Chain A
Amino acid sequence: MSRLGFGFLLLFCLSGAAGADCLTRGTGDLGIIIERAAGSLKVVDTSKHRELFRVTGLGDVSHASAVYSRDGRYAFVFGRDGGLTKVDILCGEIVKRVVQGGNAIGGAISQDGSLIAVSNYKPGGVKIFSATDLSLVADLPATRTAQNEGSKTVGMVDAPDQRFLVSLYDTGEIWIIDMSKPEAPGIQRFEDVGHLPYDALITPDGRYYIAGLFGQDGLAMLDLWHPENGVQPILKNYGRGRQKLPVYKMPHLEGWAMAGDRAFLPAVGQHEVLVVRRGDWKELGRIPVHGQPVFVMARPDGRQIWVNFAFPHNDTIQVIDTETLELIKTLNPGKGALHMEFTPRGEEIWISIRDRDEVQVYDTRTLELTHRLPVDKPSGIFFSARAHHIGL
């Protein structure tokens, strides 16, 4: 009996030692918050509104984004300096880090979770890595520009059938990258899609890929059910004949809002949110807002739209009712309201307030502030529920 007791004690000690500070729990209510200046992130528990770990040594994460492994345990963080870091959120530690390019903007995880694709500003192009050990699987150089540099690539997303989509900023292209045979990537190129595609999104059903164009009016749309139809311009009359206002921060399209059969997206150079019908992509209306929208995000049930804004209006958040298209609330959370993330079922939204070094949590039913967490210069917030959504 005493031997058995000793055995248990030994086992307990060993497992304690082996597990270090790793947690034994699910990850479905966890997330990460990027600390953009410190090169670190915080792992947070969204049920208890508290920090679990702080992970340092991520390099330049001043414009970082992240995707999750399908088991929800690992976050893959895409840094500005070309760093790709795999973080174990149950242990609060870096599993592996590679510097894969000179200057990166974002990435995606494949449908089956086995591949990580990164889009690069410098040297341009796309690199694809094994999600297991971050070893290089494919290197896809971008089309060269007139200055003989590789085009910057933007708007990288995953798509059904083990594909990735990406836009080429300088050369105005959209690529479908087929990774169903990782040893022989297939690239389908669509050229002349429009001038300066600066970001893109895929609809949550994985059917439509839409790139925003900085250099001209309208957007470029590709229907992945019918790629033979090519890339089509949509909303091309938008903004015509109107003076564009200066844009002090480029809007983001990822996480744009679909509510029912309507999509809500940031106008470029106008202080408006556009409302368009999914499918024929006709404009249904415009909602005047406080500034140049950056993120336009729908609560998961599609009942509300939350909008943040570019400098000098980035101290404000506005909430729109998707049925009446009316503003229902204007919040002033503080300067540098950079990023928003809903909890998976949308009862809360977490908002990074850079200049206050905090993340604020709002109840989306009452629209009241409920919690604050100290975070050093917070930017992107990424919850693990993204693991199970196309395009996130």
Chain B
Amino acid sequence: MTRNYPPMLVLVLLVTTMSLPVFGDLIPSRQDELTYLLRHDCGSCHGMWLDGGLGPPLKPENLRHWSVEQLAVTILYGRPGTPMPPWRPFLSPQEAHWLAKSLKQGIGP
């Protein structure tokens, strides 16, 4: 499921995200904000329940082949050539990582 990123870019981005300091948990109020963002804004393409729409579904079973780091990079930098935009202006790497981890684990309704 590796997508069409230039290999150097992927490498650079992976190193960038992975070399970040160990992620502590986000404060609960920010977690709530991110969950709301996921449902309502990411949800405008991926479905409010993440069942997919114009964008692919984001349930744990759909993301098995992606690592948390890959997902975090996709969230931060988007997927060129598709409608997936970069969310870097609104999310820190730590927040993208938290979202990616939550998606992999499954986020309750």
Contacts and interface: CB of A to CB of B under 8 A. Distances in A.
Given A198-B54, A247-B83, A354 B48 contact: no
Given A80-B53, A246-B78, A198 B83 contact: yes
Contacts of A247: 83, 85
A123 B60 CA distance: 20
Nearest to A81: B51
Contacts of B41: 248-249, 311
Contacts of A121: 52-54
A250 interface: yes
Contact of A80 (B51, B81, B90): B51
Interface of B: 39-41, 43-45, 47-49, 51-54, 78, 81, 83, 85-86, 90
Contacts of A277: none
B47 A169 contact: no
B53 A105 contact: yes
6 contacts: A60-B48, A60-B51, A62-B43, A122-B52, A152-B54, A246-B86
A312 B49 CA distance: 21
Contacts of B83: 196, 198, 214, 247, 250
Q: Which of B45, B78, B81, B85 has the most CB of A within 10 A?
A: B85
A60 B40 contact: no
Contacts of A152: 54
B51 A250 contact: no
A65 to B, nearest CB: 13
A57 B89 CA distance: 38
> Interface size class for chain A?
20 to 34
B47 A60 contact: yes
A62 B49 CA distance: 9
A36 B90 CA distance: 24
A336 interface: yes
Q: Is the interface of B mostly helix, strand, loop or mixed?
A: loop
B48 to A, nearest CB: 3
Nearest to B83: A214
Interface of A: 36-37, 60, 62-63, 80-81, 103, 105, 121-122, 152, 154, 169, 196, 198, 214-215, 246-250, 311-312, 336, 354
B40 A354 contact: yes
Nearest to A82: B51
Contacts of A60: 47-49, 51
B47 A62 contact: yes
A62 B45 contact: no
B48 A103 contact: no
Q: Which of B45, B52, B53, B90 has the most CB of A within 10 A?
A: B53
A256 to B, nearest CB: 18
A250 B78 contact: no
Contact of B54 (A37, A62, A169, A246): A169
Contacts of B39: 37
A246 B86 CA distance: 7
A250 B47 contact: no
Nearest to A354: B40
B51 A248 contact: no
Contact of A248 (B49, B52, B54, B85): B85
Contacts of B45: 249-250
Contacts of B86: 246
Given A60-B49, A249-B45, 11 more contacts: A60-B51, A62-B48, A62-B49, A63-B48, A80-B47, A105-B54, A214-B83, A247-B83, A250-B45, A250-B54, A311-B41
A246 B85 contact: yes
Contacts of B90: 312
Contacts of A215: 81
Given A246-B86, A248-B41, A312-B90, A80 B54 contact: no
Contacts of A169: 54
B62 to A, nearest CB: 12
Contacts of B53: 63, 80, 103, 105, 121
Contacts of A63: 44, 47-48, 53
Nearest to A292: B85
A336 B40 contact: yes
A214 B78 CA distance: 15
Contacts of B40: 336, 354
Contacts of A312: 90
The 4 closest A-B pairs by CB, nearest first: A62-B48, A246-B85, A311-B41, A249-B44
B5 to A, nearest CB: 17
